[in-house]
Structure 1
Amino acid sequence: MEFDSAYYPYPSKRNALFANKGMVATSQPLAAQAGLEMIKKGGNAIDAAIATAACLTVVEPTTNGIGSDAFALVWTKGELHGLNGSGSAPKSISIEALQKAGYSEMPLYGVVPITVPGAPGAWAELSERFGRLPFSELLKPAIEYARNGYPITPSLGTTWQKAYNNYKKNLNGEEFANWFQTFAPEGRAPRIGEVWKSEDMAATMELIAESKADAFYRGVLAEKIDAFLKQYGGYLTKEDLAAYKPEWVQPIKVNYRGYDVWELPPNGQGIVALMALNILKGFEFTSKDSPDTYHKQIEAIKLAFADGKKYITDPAKMNMSVEALLSEAYADERRKLIGQQALLPEPGTPPKGGTVYLSTADGEGNMVSFIQSNYLGFGSGIVIPGTGIGLQNRGNNFTLDPTHENCLEPGKKTYHTIIPGFMTKGNQPVGPFGVMGAFMQPQGHVQVVMNTIDFQLNPQAALDAPRWQWRDGKSVWLEHSFPEHIAEALGRMGHQVQVSPASGFGRGQIIWRTPDGVLVGGTEPRTDGTVSIW
């Protein structure tokens, strides 16, 4: 990977960082340090990723938790491996059951949209296959911060306050009382600089650490989850938890200007980024700050989302093959639809969301791209009493339309928004990258990849650059620092442009490895992002 170090189209808040023994990039400094600590103890990048991910459930609970899903791309010993740590819908749920209960669509909060959480199982699976340190060692930082507390950072405090305001307004049933007891123990959100802790979460992490996550799926934690959800009419049971196992999958790719860009296959939406890049590689881009460049990027992502929202679901239920969607012939066909004016395809309506992403690398050549999320902030609003386990609400992405590809079915995995990315060239690793934020994620991936390959920006500059986000129809959000003359030009091309706050544009991390083994990292300026190096 080569960078034009003199090319900074926008003021960079910080420089890219360089190291050669270890690097962890994520959205919270304490979690990044926890991961790097494992490498210094003799662990590898996989150990670092697990420790960072577990720690993030404690130090950034606004976006992920013990009850999250997780996905990973792992480069080790010259090969890229994919892990799908998403869970399925409960065996007892169905469209008919929800309609009988009075639902016309999947609810956002409560016991109904809860699917099997995959994160604890994913941590244990990664450790078992590729880790070096004992699994119990990897969760020690998370346990320590949960038990002894940590001060709330500015971005975290702001997000926590917004979530509290939303939940206070919308979560009124007694089943939500434990969320408020856990995450608003003083009757309010923790303030910036204030210390927050959770003894319940610490005890739960100890059980997960000691049992290699078995307690969560087949032990005392599974029993507690089962009992509480039964009490409030939920569908997830201890039998659903016991049947769960993360799935090793073959990553998918497209070649973009000599680089292989990798994503995980459906049920994740990484294929959306690949379809867009497949369309875009048929154009030549000579300038980043060109209305035509942004126009083509936006049009390509719209076409990719139109297909993604139609076809992506549990791979066992998909009626369209990955190979067909990523074929050169299909990309050529879609590319022909892009003209000088904004298209109006037939996509879904991408909402905002919350996720954590991390990249790790060690001096031996191991690299990990890892992403973990509840979905839409704190998730379902359900916290299991005495455990600190906040459960995700991924089932909200299902539809109750039985004719749709992603319709709700017992034991089915839903369309999933969280996606880790990875890049290689000539069978050598370039490195992990990701941009979190629900349906912003494939859009962020496209922008980061093009910033890197087409415009030769180093990792930090690639993340600093102002972002756009297609919303629906012809609606496009532009970050507040976006060049005004380009915004005006896009408006003349038929895009319905709106300048919006930075919080809706995702949060990314990048670690690249140079041919001589030097690690180059960048972190997100839109949050408390950190790159810890050795």
Structure 2
Amino acid sequence: ILRPQPGFAEHFLPRGRAPHIGEHFVLPSAAATLKRIAASGGRDFYEGETAHKLVAHAQAHDAALTLADLRDYAPEWVTPIGQTYRGHTLHQIPPNGQGIAALIALGILQNFDLASRPVDHPDTQHLLIEAMKLAFADVYSHVADARHMRMTHEQMLRPDYLAERARMIDPRVAQAFASGHAPQGGTVYLTAADKNGMMVSFIQSNYMGFGSGVVVPGTGVSLQNRGHCFSMQPDHPNVVAGGKRPFHTIIPGFLMRDGAPVMSFGVMGGNMQPQGQVQTLVRMLDYGQQPQAACDAPRWKWNQGLAVDVEAGLAPAVAQGLRTRGHVLEGIDDPYMDFGSGQFIWRLGDPAVDGYVSASDSRRDGLAAGF
């Protein structure tokens, strides 16, 4: 698909094709770009040679990017938002991200005694699916650049509001609370921790597949396509506009208890990210499963309406129980892209003495490593 793109072919199709597994190739232009960025303390990307190359390529193809856009950009240092659940607090980056979906779902599930039934029981999984649907109904309706939202994240996380949403769930019948665009993603997540207790939850994404597919010739810079997540509805808070950040899917997670860090974690995969976080957290916090077991357990992914994708490993009795409740299930044999991929580090007391438990998802090529 991307072969005709001049910059893409130049950098990522050496010898006119994709590199073979294990084949050595070099990216000299990308190396030169990284050297300029390092030597300038980062400024080259925003106002130096790299910036001029990015803008020249964009304007040569009728794109809207200007030097002022890059020069005036500034990252934001934000305060995480949180939701208590079973004595813990899950923290997320605030909107314009979808992390609030996981907080809403857990806030709804807080109103149910999940542990009264086994985790792999149709009643339990039905409640999780319905809570996730309600969360996405709010997220797809209201989440945008925080400066443009008409419903604040505080309002969306009010306990009385979440209890009201919980009462909408019928424990025996699946409902279509709302349909929404379900973005796909191409994301990398990592988490790290040291002997002093410092923990980092980090996520990066060019978005769908290879991002936009635009690789600026002579730079090795591959441009993302996060603008895909803007709405085209004029009355939507996430409608596309200049100087505005789009709704986005990447959500590094962080779990705390009594003000102390417990787990740095994340789940990759578009709108699967909050769904994967909720499913694994319920297994750990309600049912006492250790991180790798929670990570390995079969997952489902709500798409829209009553449609739910399920992994082939889901127990037949659970699948049949969900169908009986009205869920429309589609089995997916290849879990690589569809059910996310999680990485988890759980702190055990004093890190210098007790260490950590780590887990890495078998659905992709991550790993847990200690040094």
TM, length-normalised to structure 2: 0.95
For 1:398 and 1:494, locate their aligned partners in 2 and report how far apart those are by CA, in whole Å.
32
SS at match of 1:167: coil
SS at match of 1:502: coil
For 1:186 and 1:275, locate their aligned partners in 2 and report how far apart those are by CA, in whole Å.
49
Bigger relative contact order, structure 1 or 2 (CA pairs below 8 A, ≥6 apart): 1
For 2:92 and 2:157, locate their aligned partners in 1 and report how far apart those are by CA, in whole Å.
12
Partner of 1:251: 80
For 1:520 and 1:316, locate their aligned partners in 2 and report how far apart those are by CA, in whole Å.
39
Q: Say whether 1:232 aligns with 2:61.
A: yes
Partner of 2:162: 331
**C-alpha displacement of 1:194:** 2.2
For 1:189 and 1:480, locate their aligned partners in 2 and report how far apart those are by CA, in whole Å.
31
**C-alpha displacement of 1:218:** 1.3
Partner of 2:132: 301
Q: Say whether 1:206 aligns with 2:30.
A: no
For 1:349 and 1:495, locate their aligned partners in 2 and report how far apart those are by CA, in whole Å.
19
Counterparts in 2 of 1:496 and 1:167: CA distance versus 1, 3 Å: farther
The within-5 A match list for 1:243-282 is 243-282=72-111
For 1:523 and 1:195, locate their aligned partners in 2 and report how far apart those are by CA, in whole Å.
27
Cα contact 1:355–1:436 (8 A) shared by 2:
yes
Q: Say whether 1:317 aligns with 2:152.
A: no
Cα contact 1:307–1:347 (8 A) shared by 2:
no
Higher mean alpha-carbon deviation, 309-318 vs 199-208, is at: 199-208
Partner of 1:167: 2
RMSD over aligned Cα atoms: 1.2
1:462 to 294, 303, 318: 294
1:413 to 231, 234, 245: 245
Letter in 2 for 1:261: L
**C-alpha displacement of 1:270:** 0.4
For 1:188 and 1:341, locate their aligned partners in 2 and report how far apart those are by CA, in whole Å.
51
Q: Provide Cα deviations, 1:286-314, integer angstroms capped at 9, x if missing partner.
A: 31110011100000000000000010000
For 1:233 and 1:323, locate their aligned partners in 2 and report how far apart those are by CA, in whole Å.
40
Letter in 2 for 1:473: G
**C-alpha displacement of 1:467:** 1.0
For 1:508 and 1:532, locate their aligned partners in 2 and report how far apart those are by CA, in whole Å.
14
For 1:463 and 1:268, locate their aligned partners in 2 and report how far apart those are by CA, in whole Å.
23
Which structure carries more helix by proportion?
1
Cα contact 1:273–1:445 (8 A) shared by 2:
yes
Letter in 2 for 1:502: P
Runs of 4+ in 1 over 6 A off after TM superposition: none
For 2:83 and 2:335, locate their aligned partners in 1 and report how far apart those are by CA, in whole Å.
30
**C-alpha displacement of 1:347:** 3.0
Q: Provide Cα deviations, 1:127-184, integer angstroms capped at 9, x if missing partner.
A: xxxxxxxxxxxxxxxxxxxxxxxxxxxxxxxxxxxxxxx435xxx5xxx221122112
1:515 to 345, 349, 362: 349
Q: Provide Cα deviations, 1:186-235, integer angstroms capped at 9, x if missing partner.
A: 32222223234311111111122222211101111101001110100011
Uncovered stretches (5+) of structure 1, i.e. residues with no partner: 1-165
Cα contact 2:229–2:247 (8 A) shared by 1:
yes
Higher mean alpha-carbon deviation, 478-487 vs 381-390, is at: 478-487
- How many pairs does the alignment contain? 363
Identity across aligned pairs (percent)?
A: 45
Uncovered stretches (5+) of structure 2, i.e. residues with no partner: none
